[in-house]
Amino acid sequence: MTDQNEKKIERRQFLSRAAKAGISIAAAGIISAKLYDRQGPKAVADAGALVTLPDFSVPPKDDQTICIVEGSDRKATVSKAIELLGGMERFVKKGDIVAIKPNVAFASSPLLGATTHPELVAEVVRLAYKAGAKQVIVTDNPINDPASCFTLTGIGRAAGDAGAKVILPKPELFRHTTLPGGKLIADWPIFYGPFAKADKLIGIAPLKHHHRSGASMTMKNWYGLLGGRRNVFHQDINTIIAELALMVKPTLVILDGTVVMVTNGPTGGSVSDLKRADTLIASTDCVAADSFGCTLLGLRSSDLPYLAKAQNAGAGTTDYESLKPIFAVAG
């Protein structure tokens, strides 16, 4: 110990030192409080608040949940299917803004069946306008270059000719969302803009084999809503498809099995990958639609784990027969 330390302190000195220490602590506290950022850093400047897709579903009607129509003419089969489910007026009210989400994933010819057939998109646009829609939007967030996809699939021109507004993805149309209870969709960017002001949502998907998930149908079609590096979800493809089925509550889904891609999906490439099944399914229950749809690929619903996951999560039923499907022939 040094002499300095052994020196006795007087009461006045002690009070003076204690006061200085107190002032220092108080000053540090005040400065810290002033600088404290309760919200923390904002890493993504435009991320904004989390959004939730609107619920686009319509009230259920007994025995009018799923309709399966045979026929080779897509215009005729889709018209018949919608008519038997109660008509487009059941789904679209006068003045509605209707968003249509086809599968425009690839810049490939409609001949190859990798994307929704443009004729089908055009017919649904027409039916929506006929039912009184104020505006019909056709949109998707493709895997390939969006402009090329909408041009080469023929969907851009078909939708435009039918009077629809085609919306291509732009960064400002994406917002973050979280699926309550979801494992994968947590604060993840989704293609939100075109759907934010829509009143109704109709999904139209081609029926095809998928190398990773087994089959790509109406539930997998919602994959197009995901932004960011969505390929990471391929590692858990069954969970992401099931979560998408929970996240999106469409008005109606249409599954086109007129020509089915039975091998080498999801891209295909050869006409020999295709098989005519001449069947179109329309349903308000996407799990039921896909559960019937997979039979056209020679699969059972139990062969596709995402169907059971979606059913267990409450997105619909794999037991499509319990819904008393309406079977019909068109044309």
Binding residues (CB under 8 A) for other proteins: these are 8-9, 11, 14, 21, 25, 41, 43-44, 47, 105-109, 111-112, 141, 143-145, 148, 152, 169-171, 174, 176, 186-189, 210-213, 216, 227-231, 234, 237, 263-267, 269-273
Q: Measured from the CB of residue 328, what is the shortest distance to other proteins in angstroms?
A: 31
Count CB neighbours of 21 within 10 A: 10
Q: Measured from the CB of residue 241, what is the shortest distance to other proteins in angstroms?
A: 11
Sort 247 into a burial class: Cβ within 10 Å, 0-12 / 13-18 / 19+: buried
Q: Measured from the CB of residue 211, what is the shortest distance to other proteins in angstroms?
A: 5
Question: What's the half-sphere exposure (Cβ side, CA atoms, 13 Å) at 329?
Answer: 1
Report the C-alpha gap between 20 and 23 in whole angstroms. Answer: 5
Q: Measured from the CB of residue 133, what is the shortest distance to other proteins in angstroms?
A: 28
Q: Measured from the CB of residue 216, what is the shortest distance to other proteins in angstroms?
A: 8
Q: Which is nearer to other proteins, 57 or 148 (CB)?
A: 148
Q: Which is nearer to other proteins, 228 or 298 (CB)?
A: 228
The residues that bridge with 166 in the sheet, in sequence order, are: 138
Q: Which is nearer to other proteins, 75 or 230 (CB)?
A: 230
- The answer for residues whose C-beta is within 8 angstroms of residue 187's C-beta and 6 or more apart is 50, 176, 177, 178
The runs of H, that is alpha helices, within the chain are: 3-6, 11-35, 74-84, 88-91, 118-130, 146-152, 155-161, 193-196, 218-221, 237-247, 286-293, 305-313
Count CB neighbours of 35 within 10 A: 7
Q: Which is nearer to other proteins, 25 or 31 (CB)?
A: 25
Q: Which is nearer to other proteins, 89 or 161 (CB)?
A: 161
Q: Which is nearer to other proteins, 108 or 284 (CB)?
A: 108
Report the C-alpha gap between 221 and 277 in whole angstroms. Answer: 20
Query: Helix (H, G, I), strand (E, B), or coil: what is residue 68?
Result: strand
Q: Measured from the CB of residue 307, what is the shortest distance to other proteins in angstroms?
A: 17
Q: Write out the DSSP string of 97-114.
A: EEEEEE---SS--GGGSS
Report the C-alpha gap between 211 and 91 in whole angstroms. Answer: 34
Q: Which is nearer to other proteins, 27 or 329 (CB)?
A: 27
Q: Measured from the CB of residue 225, what is the shortest distance to other proteins in angstroms?
A: 12
Q: Measured from the CB of residue 309, what is the shortest distance to other proteins in angstroms?
A: 18
For residue 94, CA distances in Å to 97, 159, 163 come to: 9, 20, 16
Q: Which is nearer to other proteins, 108 or 301 (CB)?
A: 108
